[in-house]
Structure 1
Amino acid sequence: MVDKIVVTTFAPVVIPTLCRYQHFRNCLETLAQCTWAEYTEVYVGLDYPLNESHCEGYDKIKNYLEHFSVKNRFKKLHVIMHKTNQGVAKNLKAICDVVSARYDRWIFSEDDNIFSPNFLVFINKGLEKFKNDPTVISINGYRHFYDIQTCGNSFFRQNVDFSAWGYGIWKDRYEAYKDIDRKYFRRHAYSLKSMAKMWRNGYMRLAGMYSCAGKHWNGSKSDNVLSVYMALEDMDVIMPVVSCVRNCGVDGSGVHFVDVDRNFYELHQNQVIDDKDTFHFIGTGLEYYIENKRAFRTQSYGRISIFQLFRIMVKFYLSELLGGRNG
């Protein structure tokens, strides 16, 4: 059965970058080849070099953007250039502040993604289909390698792993979580109900809640933080059965995955992604929900042992006792 989703608002794409020239170029070039690229505005946030090692890649990206031809590719390309180094979080916030003043939805991508031809179709249709469903936090184009069960459905829902490797989100859901702070997670750290929720999502998610509640959390809204948040709020992400995104950043060039196992690297570099030009939402997304939640919990990249979890919990409560719960 073909879906009858009509998209009238095409979400812009925001991409923060700094100096990974080849990654960024591959990202933008494959995005330009997506169906509906000609209806899409792209906002690039080019951060300023923090040190000398960033300069060569930065200069290449700057030159590439200055000569990038939008004709027959994107509706428009916007470049936000910073005069001082902002860091990842502030660079992203600057772009989101701009698009949130103009749009009620947008698509985020890291600068090291490669896209399927149907990536923009999947995200835009998903943003339209679930815009009035408060139990959905985002439409995620990347699909993990975990062994999920399907029965003819083209997408599924899960609330264990949020992935920032290419996702669409609505302004209201972004506004709901962007200002959450340590106090939010501390409240949940003392709630048996919240502990039970996170326990059902795996040791790593319960540990993540305590890490966010701790004094050393820097306030960033990373994949792990959003994975905890969506579980606490009883929200799901929508993912395609066949990934629409391949991430190439596990080569050690990014902020995360600095030291990676060779097999892990090869797995991501060679990930099969969808080759279709369009996407149709088939099924409810709830097929095998419990079974697939178990697969995400037990196969997660970030899974830890119960001993690691216990250590993190003890560290949190000792810190609370010694520093005072209002510290």
Structure 2
Amino acid sequence: MLAPIILFVYNRPEHTIKTIKALSENELAKESSVFIFSDAPKNKDSSEKVNLVREYIDSLKEKEYFKSITIKKAKLNKGLAKSVIDGVSEIISEYGKVIVLEDDLITTSDFLIYMNGALDYYNELDKVWSISGYNIPIEFPKDYKSEIYYSYRGCSWGWATWKNRWNQVDWDIKDFAEFKSSRNKRNQFNRGGRDMANMLDAQMDGTIDSWAIRWCYTQSKKDLLTVYPVKSRIKNIGLDGSGTHSAITSHYDVEIDKSLKQCIYSDPELDQNILKNFQNHYGSRLHCYLSKQKRSIKKLLRM
């Protein structure tokens, strides 16, 4: 059985149209069921664009892009973190596995083949936490043969997982005090990027609202891995300042190959050079950004 696709949309009609159009051109699109979660506007300024997005997704059933489309419109604004946690929990509890996208991700035409194949291949491999469709622009050793690699960090830009992994997450991070005071635990978490411990700190003090850092925290505690493709199946078009949670940057830009052949899955050894390049790609930029955000919030609180 193919995994259901969950798409989270909000107030970016142009991005949403491009995301859905690319997804509809996938080879398995007409055999796939799609669940679209549309968040309600946070304020009056967002209402017009949210309505435009909803008008567009309402028109999709006539286009017959997919096997089926189910649209779920929130009546009150949840924010991305709660939307994702609630939406994924609802669908994965019924289907046992999911493929998840947000409204600013362009997929290759083989994305659904890659994701469904990986879900089947790695399902029984207990060390695998999730599947990523995106790959960051890092260098690989010249002698690296596999078409996938493992990382300690989950990805939120086109990803998939199974019910028995998703249900392990403690979204409240009840052991945060112990984590915060443990250098070893913080270093272990930062294997997936030098920003991760600081990002969890920011989550717990209310500076950010992220489902993904909490998802990654459970992954780190259990010492599990995410499967990444050497050649990305995702291009993010939302790092243009249009997103609620994203800034303008080209740090994560990739070009996707439209002539990709079906991925050959494998279970390679962890490659320390890849892990180091991966870790180094994350860190200072986000840390600086969060520091600025904290200073701005403190300044506002003093006014």
TM-score strictly above 0.5: yes
1:57 is displaced (CA, Å) by 1.8
The amino acid that maps onto 1:121 is I
Aligned partner of 1:132 in structure 2 is 124
Paired residues in the alignment total 290
RMSD between aligned alpha carbons?
A: 2.8
Q: Structure 2 vs 1, CA of residues 118 and 94 (structure 1 numbering), >3 Å: closer, same or farther?
A: same
**CA–CA distance in structure 1, aligned partners of residues 199 and 82 of structure 2:** 22
Q: What is the CA deviation profile of residues 250-296 of structure 1, one whole-angstrom value per residue up to 9, with x for unaligned ones?
A: 011112223x24xx27x62xx21132465222443336x11111111
1:280 aligns with one of 244, 263, 268: 263
* The structure with more radius of gyration: 1
The amino acid that maps onto 1:126 is A
**CA–CA distance in structure 2, aligned partners of residues 193 and 117 of structure 1:** 42
**CA–CA distance in structure 2, aligned partners of residues 33 and 56 of structure 1:** 28
Query: What SS does the aligned partner of 1:163 have?
Result: coil
The amino acid that maps onto 1:221 is W
Aligned partner of 1:233 in structure 2 is 222
Q: What is the CA deviation profile of residues 15-48 of structure 1, one whole-angstrom value per residue up to 9, with x for unaligned ones?
A: 1112100101111111111111112111101122
The amino acid that maps onto 2:219 is M
Contact residue 189 and residue 209 of structure 1 kept, 8 A: no
Q: Structure 2 vs 1, CA of residues 132 and 284 (structure 1 numbering), >3 Å: closer, same or farther?
A: closer
Aligned partner of 2:42 in structure 1 is 50
Q: Structure 2 vs 1, CA of residues 18 and 206 (structure 1 numbering), >3 Å: closer, same or farther?
A: closer
Aligned partner of 1:316 in structure 2 is none
Question: Are residue 252 (structure 1) and residue 234 (structure 2) matched?
Answer: no
1:163 is displaced (CA, Å) by 1.8
1:290 aligns with one of 272, 281, 286: 272
Q: Structure 2 vs 1, CA of residues 128 and 58 (structure 1 numbering), >3 Å: closer, same or farther?
A: same
Q: Percent identity?
A: 22
Q: What is the CA deviation profile of residues 187-222 of structure 1, one whole-angstrom value per residue up to 9, with x for unaligned ones?
A: 33344542442355554234345445x544777322
Aligned partner of 2:145 in structure 1 is 152
**CA–CA distance in structure 2, aligned partners of residues 64 and 304 of structure 1:** 33
Using structure 2 for the length normalisation, give the TM-score: 0.84
Aligned partner of 1:93 in structure 2 is 85
**CA–CA distance in structure 1, aligned partners of residues 287 and 67 of structure 2:** 48
1:72 is displaced (CA, Å) by 5.2
Query: What SS does the aligned partner of 1:15 have?
Result: strand
1:65 is displaced (CA, Å) by 1.9
Contact residue 23 and residue 111 of structure 1 kept, 8 A: yes
**CA–CA distance in structure 2, aligned partners of residues 21 and 201 of structure 1:** 33
Query: What SS does the aligned partner of 1:109 have?
Result: strand
Q: Structure 2 vs 1, CA of residues 87 and 208 (structure 1 numbering), >3 Å: closer, same or farther?
A: closer
1:124 is displaced (CA, Å) by 0.6
The amino acid that maps onto 2:20 is L
Q: Structure 2 vs 1, CA of residues 185 and 134 (structure 1 numbering), >3 Å: closer, same or farther?
A: farther
Query: What SS does the aligned partner of 1:45 have?
Result: strand
**CA–CA distance in structure 2, aligned partners of residues 243 and 72 of structure 1:** 27
Contact residue 81 and residue 209 of structure 2 kept, 8 A: no
Q: How does 1:212-227 map to 2 (within 5 A)?
A: 214-216=204-206, 220-222=210-212, 224-227=213-216
Query: What SS does the aligned partner of 2:156 have?
Result: coil
Contact residue 194 and residue 280 of structure 2 kept, 8 A: no
Contact residue 12 and residue 106 of structure 1 kept, 8 A: yes
Q: Structure 2 vs 1, CA of residues 174 and 305 (structure 1 numbering), >3 Å: closer, same or farther?
A: closer
The amino acid that maps onto 1:291 is N
**CA–CA distance in structure 2, aligned partners of residues 208 and 50 of structure 1:** 24
Using structure 1 for the length normalisation, give the TM-score: 0.79
For structure 1, the 5+ residue unaligned runs are 1-8, 313-327
**CA–CA distance in structure 1, aligned partners of residues 72 and 240 of structure 2:** 27
Q: Structure 2 vs 1, CA of residues 72 and 218 (structure 1 numbering), >3 Å: closer, same or farther?
A: closer
**CA–CA distance in structure 1, aligned partners of residues 210 and 279 of structure 2:** 23
Query: What SS does the aligned partner of 2:94 have?
Result: coil
Aligned partner of 2:94 in structure 1 is 102
